[in-house]
Amino acid sequence: MPQKTMVEALNLALDQSMAADDRVCVMGQDIAINGGVFRVTKGLLEKYGETRVIDTPLAENGIIGTAVGMAIYGLNPVVEIQFSGFTMQAFDQIEQNMARIRNRSRGRYRASMVIRTPYGGGIRAVEHHSESREAYWAHTPGLKVVIPSGPRNARALLNAAIQDPDPVVFYEPKAVYRAFREDVPDEPETMTIGKANIVREGEDITLIAYGAMMRPVLEAAEDLVDIHHVNVEVIDLLSIKPMDTETLVESVTKTGRCVIVHEGPRTCGIAAEIIARLNEKAFEYLIAPVKRITGYDIHFPFFQVEQHYLPDPDTIIEAVKETMAYE
């Protein structure tokens, strides 16, 4: 199987989706001739032309709003917002129209579209280029929110998002973009939005994460198993909304202990939601309080100190050991 980076895998998903369905079009800033600032849309202009690979003016709210219009008309736009920090410019159209048009039109219209956008820290970027604000979109009724963690699931998840009849916010962990390669088959793969993936089975404790945080989590898991002899179960959430509560509950019912990791701010973050669901559905199985390792409730620090902000394997190991020690 061909080995691909996440960037290449996403490119493959777009390419194959566009080849398979001429309603699929991509739009965003610098995505056509430049192939996107991260090159995810590279080569698409040459193949599909400028009516389907659309360089837009520098206006995120305009991009999303017009994409919703195109979707109402029957197209299937896959929008790129250059950095997730700039989805904030489009809060208006995401919340007011993209998320609502189906309900407002009582099902007559739908916004079958995807917002692809790189999120997260760790690339030594300037301000506004490192945020993780998936909780905003998870909090918005009408949206789906998914976050892949590696090349193969990125490709499958993007296919699923494009085929989904409803609007999907597709967060791409930019720290993973070129971090490693994985086998990605040529034949199209998809996956069910709303299903988590048990990456590693274990009995002692459940570790839940998604996106770029899967890497420090898996690194920590290795040490926990090898050095600390803790048999961890690791779950990659993949879909933030809808969330695979069943898989999470099943796992924690088995282990009785849980640590959740995300890089976004703590208050009202995704971990808070997971804890609430475990509280509702697995309370009597919990042996220890569920811990969360998250970003802090501060603005993402400038890059000279960002490594201290981001959850790291040591901090995760500490949290697991503390949770294991709880009686």
Partner 1 sequence: MSSKTIETSATPPPVATNTPDAPIVETLSSKSSCDTPMTEKLIDLGEIQDISILNEDGEVNAALDPNLPKVELLKIHRAMVLTRKLDRRMLNMQRQGEMGTFAPGLGQEATQIGQIYPLQKNDWFSPSYRSFGAQLWRGWPIDQLLLLWDGFFEGFAPPEGVNDLPFSIVVGSHVPLATGIAMGMRNRNDESFVLVNFGDGAFSQGIIAESMNFAVVYKSPIVFVVENNGYAISTKSECQAGIAELARRGPGFGIPSVRVDGNDILAMIVASQRAADHARSGKGPFLIEAVTYRMSLHTTADDPKVYRNDDEVEAWEAKCPIARFETYLKKKNLLDDAAIERIESECEQEVLDAREVFRKKAIAKPREVFDYMYENLPPELQEQQADYFAKLDRKGVE
| Contact residues for partner 1, defined by CB under 8 A | 29-30, 33-35, 37, 55, 57-59, 61-62, 85-86, 88-89, 124-129, 266-267, 296-299, 301-305, 308-309, 314-315, 318
Pairing of strands 291-295, 258-265: parallel
**Which residue among 128, 129, 139, 228 is the active-site one?**
129
Distance CA 254, CA 268 (A): 26
- DSSP line for 204-218: SEEEEE-GGGHHHHH
**124: partner contacted, choices partner 1, ligand TPP, none (Cβ within 5-8 A by kind):** partner 1
The answer to whether 129 is a known catalytic residue is yes
Tell me the C-alpha to C-alpha distance, in Å, between residue 158 and each of 111, 117, 172, 184, 193. 16, 12, 10, 13, 10
Question: Cβ of residue 172: shortest distance to ligand TPP, in angstroms?
Answer: 16
| Residue 33 interacts with which of partner 1, ligand TPP, none, CB < 5 to 8 Å by class | partner 1
From the CB of 124, what's the least distance to partner 1, in Å?
6
Closer by beta carbon to partner 1, 62 or else 69: 62
Which stretches of the chain are DSSP H helices?
6-20, 44-48, 60-73, 91-93, 101-104, 134-138, 151-163, 214-226, 245-255, 270-281, 306-309, 313-325
Closest by CA position to 8, among listed 27, 32, 36, 45:
36
- Say which entry of ligand TPP, partner 1, none residue 276 contacts (CB below 5 to 8 A, set by partner kind): none
Radius of gyration of the chain (CA): 20
* Shorter beta-carbon distance to ligand TPP: residue 88 or 268: 88
126 binds, among ligand TPP, partner 1, none (CB under 5 to 8 A by kind): partner 1
Cβ neighbours, 10 Å, residue 235 = 27
Binding site residues, ligand TPP, CB under 6 A: 29, 58, 60, 82, 86, 89
- Residue 307 Cβ vs ligand TPP, minimum distance, rounded to whole Å: 23
Considering CB distances under 5 to 8 angstroms, the limit depending on partner class, which of partner 1, ligand TPP, none binds residue 34? partner 1
Residue 7 CB, nearest approach to ligand TPP (Å): 18
CA 41, 47, 156: angle at the middle one, nearest 5? Answer: 50
Least Å from the CB of residue 253 to partner 1: 29
- Those residues whose C-beta lies under 8 Å from the C-beta of residue 238, and which sit 6 or more positions away, are 146, 147, 148, 149, 153, 157, 191, 195, 196, 197, 210, 244
Alpha-carbon span 146 to 169, nearest angstrom? 6
Q: Is residue 252 classed exposed, middle or buried when 0-12, 13-18 and 19+ CB atoms within 10 A define those classes?
A: buried
CB closer to partner 1, 90 vs 168: 90
Nearer to partner 1, 18 or 319 (CB): 319
Q: Pick from ligand TPP, partner 1, none: which does 190 bind, CB < 5 to 8 A by kind?
A: none
**Least separation in angstroms between CB 71 and ligand TPP:** 22
Comparing CB distances to ligand TPP, the nearer of 84 and 247 is 84
The alpha carbon dihedral of 67, 70, 74, 78 has a sign of negative
Residue whose CB is nearest to ligand TPP in the complex, by number? 86
Q: What is the dihedral of CA 85, 87, 89, 90, to 10 degrees?
A: -170
Of the pair 8, 60, the CB lying nearest ligand TPP is at 60
Structure letter (DSSP) for residue 296: -
Pairwise CA distance, residues 305 & 310, whole Å? 9
Nearer residue to partner 1 within complex by CB, 19 or 58: 58
Question: C-beta of 96: minimal distance to ligand TPP in Å?
Answer: 18
| Residues recognised as catalytic | 129
